[in-house]
A and B are shown apart, each in its own frame.
Chain A
Amino acid sequence: MTVTDVAYGLPLALALRFGIAVVTGLTAGRRDVARRVAFLGSGVASLITGLTAARVVWSGTPAEGVLFVHQAAGVTLAYSIDGLAAWFLMVLAVVAIPIALFSLGYVGGPHWSRQSVFLGITFNLLVGAIEVVFAASDAVTFLCAWELMTLASAALVATEHQERASRRAAFLYLVMSHIGTGCLIAGFLMLSAWSGSLSFSTILSGVPALGPTRHVLFALFFLGFGVKAGIVPLHIWLPEAHPAAPTSISALMSGVLIKTGVYGIARVCVFGLGVPPLSWGVIVVVVGGLSAVLGVLYALMQHDLKRLLAYHSIENIGIIFLGLGAGMMGMAYGRGDVAAVGVAAGLYHVLNHAVFKGLLFLGAGGVVMATGTRQIEQFGGLLRRMPWTGLFFLVGAMAISGLPPLNGFASEWLTFQAFLFGFRGSGEPLVYLLFPIGGALLALTTALAAACFVKAFGMTFLALPRSRSAAEAGESPMVMLAPQAWLATCCVGLGLFPGFVLRALQAAMVSLPGLQPPADLAQGGLGMASGLESFDHVVPALLGMALVAGLAIAGLLSARRGAAARRVPTWGCGGELTARTEYTATAFSKPLMMIFRGVYRPTRAVEALSDVSTYFTQEVRYRAEIEPTFERYVYGPLVALVLRVAAGMKVLQAGSLHAYLAYVIVMVVSLVLLVWWRS
C-alpha cells in the first residue's frame, strides 16, 4: 500500500478541505488570501477525488475505507467508491474544479468580496459533503453527509439574507429538503430494522426488501430523493433557491447537487430494492416526462436568466428520469440490454447536464456581474461587449438544445434508443403505448428547449442594448473565462467522442446488477450503437465533418473578391430603430404561452392612464403573469392544513404550567399502566 493508493484519495481530499476551511477562517482578516486558499484549495481537493474516481473506473476495483471511528459510541463512518459512485464523483470533479476557479474571480468582485470567508468555507463544506454522499457505504454516513449538504447549501442560498426573497427561498428549501430527509430516514430505518445492519452492502442488496413492503420503501425513497432532484411536483423550491444563491453556487447546485437525488434513486430505487417491478419504471417514466415538459414550459415563461436556467434543470432531471425509467422497465422485463441502454442514457445525461448547465450558469454569472441585473429584458447587445462569454454561452445553449454534434444530442439520442429499442422487445399494450409517448415527449422537450435558448441567447447577447448597464458592460476577467472555455470544450468533446464516454460508463456499470450492455454499444471512440441487429448507430464526428464541409461550400459560394459588406442601419419601419422597438423576450414566448394556455392559465391586465380624455392616453400599464399552479393548488391547501392543525394544537400548549404538569403525570401513569399490563 503506497500513498498513491486509491483508498487514500477520499480521506486525503476531505482532510485537505478541512484544513482549507481552518486556514480560510484564520486568514479572515485578509480576504484576498482567504479567497485564494479556499477556492484554489477546493480545486486541488476536487482534483484528488476526481482522479481517485477515475482510477476506480479504470481499474474496476472499488476503493473502500473508513472515515471516522468512535469506539465508545460504536459509530463507524465508512465509505466505498464503486463504479456508480465513481461516475458521480467524476461528474462532480469535472464541474467543481472550473466552478472553484470561476469563484476566485466572481467572489472577488465588488458584490460578494465581503462574504469571501463565509463563501469559501461553506463552498468547501458543501463540495466535501457531496463527495461523502456519493461515497458513503452505510446509512449513517450517508444521512450525516446528506444533512450537512442540505444545511451548507441552504446557508449559501441565504447568503444575501438581508433580502426577504433570499430568506424565503432558503426557508422553503430547508422545509422541502427536510420533508425529503424525513422520508429517507424512515426508509433507511425500515431497511436496517429488518436486516439488522446499516451497511449499504447488506440493506441495499435487495434481500431485506421483499413483499409488498418494498412498494412502501420505493415510495419513501422516491419522494425523499425526488425532492432533492427537483422532480415535478416536488420542484417548487428549486426555481427559488437556485437563483437566490451566488451564481457559482447556483452552478454547483444545478450541475451536481440535484444529481445527488438522481444518485440516490439509482442506488436505492433502481438497484437497491431488488429487481424493480414494471410499475416503478412506469412511475419514473411518467414523472420524468412530466418534469421534462413542465420544466421547459415554465422555463420559457421566465425572464430572469437564472430562474430560466433553474427551470431547465427540472427539465433535464426529467430527461435523466426518462432514461432511468426506461432502464427500469427493461429490468422488469428481464431485458438487460434495454436496461443497460436506459441507465447508460440517464448517467450520460447526468454528466452532460452538469457540464452544460454549469457552463450556462457561469456565463449567466458573468453577465449578471457585468450588468447588475438578472432580467433578460434589461440585457441585449452583450455579444459586442462580452464576446467570449457570449461564445461560450452559445455553445452551452446549443448543447442543452440537443443539437448535434454537441453532447446534449449524444445523451438524448441514447435516451431515444432506450425508448425505441425497448418498444421492440416488450409484449404489453401499456408498454407499447408508453414507449413511443416517452419518445414524443422527449422530442417536444428538446424542441421547446431550443426555442427557449434562442430566446435566452438572442435577447441577452444580440441586437441593441436594452438598458444603460447592458450598454456599459465589460468582459469578465480571464479567471472567469477560462473555466467556461474548459466546460465549452467538454460540451464539444463529450459530443464528438460518445464512444469513449460509453466505454467509461460501461466500466462504471459493471458492478450494477441486471444490466447487460449490448456488445456494440460503444463503437470505437467516435460512435455508439444500440445493440441488436444494428438498430441504429450514430457517429457525430462524421456529421461534424459534413457540417464543416458545408460551411466551406457556403463560404466559397458567397465570397466575393475584395468586396467588404456594406453596413447600413436596420430598417425601423419608418421610425427610428431603438431598443424599445426590438422584440422582447416576453413577446418571443407569447405564442407558446397562448398555445399552452391550458398549462399556464395566464392572466393579464392592461390599464390605460389618461389625464384629460380617454383618447389621450398618458401611460399604459401592462401586467401579465402565469398561474403558479403547483404552489396554489397543491402546496397552498397543504400549508393551510398544516397551519390549521397547528392552530388546533395550540389548545394543548396554552402556556399554563399546571396543564403541562398534568400532561406529564398522565403520561407517566399511562406508561406505568402499559408496562404493568404488558408484563
Chain B
Amino acid sequence: MTLVIQEALMTAGAALLQAVGLLAVAPLLKTVIKKMKARLQNRQGPPLLQGYYDLAKWFGKEAVRSETASWIYVAGPRVYFAAALAATTLVPVVFAAAPLEAAGGILLLVGTLAFGRFALATAALDTGSPFGGMGASRDMTIAALAEPALMLGLFASALAAGSMNLGVLIRTLLQGGIALHPSDMLAFAGLFMIVVAETGRIPVDNPATHLELTMIHEAMVLEYAGPDLALVEWASAVKELLYLTLLAGLFMPVGMATTTAPAALLVGFLAWTGKVFALAIAVTLVESTNAKLRLFRVPELVAISLGLAFLALAIRFL
C-alpha cells in the first residue's frame, strides 16, 4: 500500500515539476520569437525577459471587471489556465514519458485543450462587448476547422507507431531509431500549419495587432485586465510551447531521456531546447515572410493541412 502511495506521490511530483518547468519557460519562448521577428525587421526588439516583466506587471495590478459580467467571466481565464497546465502533464518533454501518461493519450490531450478553449470563448461572451463575441466566434470557427486536420495528422503518426498514448508512441519511435518515412514529412507539414492556426500566429491570426477587423484571439480577451489577463497570456504561451514540444517529440524524438541518469536528462533537456528553438525559428520565419490571411481564406489553409495529413495516412498504409 505504501508503495502505491509512494508511486502516486512520485507521479504527482513529476507532473508538478513538468508543469512548473513549462510554466517558467513559456514566457521566454514568446519573447524569443518576438525578438527574432524584430531582428528580421531591423528592429532591436524587447529584452529577453520582457515576457516575465509583463506577467509581473499584470499580476501586480488590481482586477478590473465588467459590471455586466458574471462568475463565468472570472472562471474563464482560470479554467483556460488550468487546462493548459493539465495538458502539460500529458506530453513527454525531456523524458520519453509523460508524467500523467496513465491518464490518457492524444485524444485526452486534444480534449483538454478544447476544454480550455470552450471556457475562454464562453467567458468572452460575458461582458456584452461586441469584440468578445467576434473573437469567440472566430476562434471557435477556426478551432472547429482545425480539429479534424489536427486529429488526422496525429493519427498518421500514432497509427504508424501503433499507439495513441504519447509516451508509448515516442518510446516506440525512439526504439525504432531514425527512419524518416515520407509520410512523416507530410504529417509534419500538416500539423505545423495547424499549430500555427491554433497558436494564433500569422498567417491565421496576428498576435501583435489590436485592429478590430483582423483580430481573433486578441479580440476574445480584449476586456481582460490585470491578473485575469496575466493568466490568459501565460496559458497561451504554455499552449504554444506545448504544441512545439509535441511536434518535436512526434517527429524528432532523438535525444529524449529514457533513463533518469543525470547525463541522459541533461542531454534530453539540451535536445528539447534545441528542437523547440529550431521550431521557434521556423514559426518566426513563417510569421515574417507571410501576410495575414483573410478570415475566409483560412479554411483553404486548413484544407491543405487536412489533405497533407490524409496523404500521409494514405502513403503509409495503402
Contact = CB atoms under 8 A, between A and B. Distances in A.
Contacts of A584: 133
Contacts of A327: none
Classify the secondary structure of A's interface with B: helix
Interface string A563-598: 101111111110001010111100111111011000
A626 interface: no
Interface string B196-235: 0000000000000000000000000001000110110000
Interface in A511-567: 533-540, 542-543, 546-551, 553-555, 557-558, 560, 563, 565-567
Contacts of B102: 537, 539, 542
B84 to A, nearest CB: 8
Contacts of A534: 163, 165, 168
Contact of A569 (B67, B86, B163): B67
Interface residues of B, number: 90
B122 A454 contact: yes
Contacts of B165: 534, 536-537
Nearest to A401: B118
B282 interface: no
A554 B81 contact: yes
Nearest to B129: A570
A493 interface: no
A31 interface: no
Given A403-B118, A538-B104, A571-B129, A440 B152 contact: yes
Interface in B299-316: 299, 306, 310, 313-314
Given A565-B65, A566-B65, A451 B100 contact: no
B155 A420 contact: yes
Interface residues of A, number: 85
Nearest to A433: B314
A547 B127 CA distance: 25
Interface in B69-98: 69-72, 74, 77-79, 81-86, 89-90
B125 A558 contact: no
B151 A440 contact: yes
A205 to B, nearest CB: 37
A446 B69 CA distance: 28
A381 interface: yes
B62 A565 contact: yes
A383 B69 CA distance: 10
Interface in B119-148: 121-122, 125-130, 132-134, 136-138, 140-141, 143-148
Contacts of B134: 583, 587
B112 interface: yes
Given A542-B102, A583-B133, A590-B137, A557 B231 contact: yes
B63 interface: yes
Contact of B115 (A404, A423, A533, A577): A404
B122 A457 contact: yes
Contacts of A398: 115, 118
B62 A560 contact: yes
Interface in A280-305: none
Nearest to B60: A560
A554 B63 CA distance: 14
Contacts of B159: 420, 423-424, 436
A592 B137 CA distance: 9
A587 B163 contact: no
Contacts, number: 284
B144 A451 contact: yes
A407 to B, nearest CB: 12
Contacts of A555: 78
Contact of B78 (A381, A450, A546, A558): A558
Contacts of A581: 128, 130
B291 interface: no
B144 A447 contact: yes
A11 B162 CA distance: 50
A546 B137 contact: no
A494 B151 CA distance: 25
Given A450-B144, A566-B63, A551 B115 contact: no
A439 interface: yes
Nearest to B81: A554
Given A537-B104, A550-B85, A454 B230 contact: no
B66 to A, nearest CB: 4
A186 interface: no
Given A554-B78, A554-B82, A588 B89 contact: no
Contact of A440 (B83, B86, B231, B306): B306
B68 A565 contact: no
Contacts of B49: none
B270 interface: no
Interface string A465-503: 000000000000000000000000000000000000000
Given A554-B78, A595-B141, A577 B112 contact: no
23 contacts: A383-B71, A401-B114, A402-B111, A404-B115, A413-B104, A444-B147, A451-B140, A463-B68, A463-B128, A464-B128, A536-B163, A538-B105, A538-B107, A539-B102, A547-B86, A549-B82, A554-B81, A554-B231, A557-B231, A565-B65, A567-B65, A573-B130, A591-B295
Interface of B: 15-16, 19, 59, 62-72, 74, 77-79, 81-86, 89-90, 100, 102-108, 110-112, 114-115, 117-118, 121-122, 125-130, 132-134, 136-138, 140-141, 143-152, 155, 158-159, 162-165, 168, 223, 227-228, 230-231, 295-296, 299, 306, 310, 313-314, 317-318
Given A420-B155, A463-B126, A554-B77, 20 more contacts: A440-B148, A448-B144, A450-B114, A454-B140, A462-B72, A462-B122, A536-B106, A536-B164, A540-B104, A546-B15, A546-B100, A550-B83, A554-B81, A554-B85, A558-B59, A570-B67, A570-B127, A577-B68, A591-B295, A595-B299
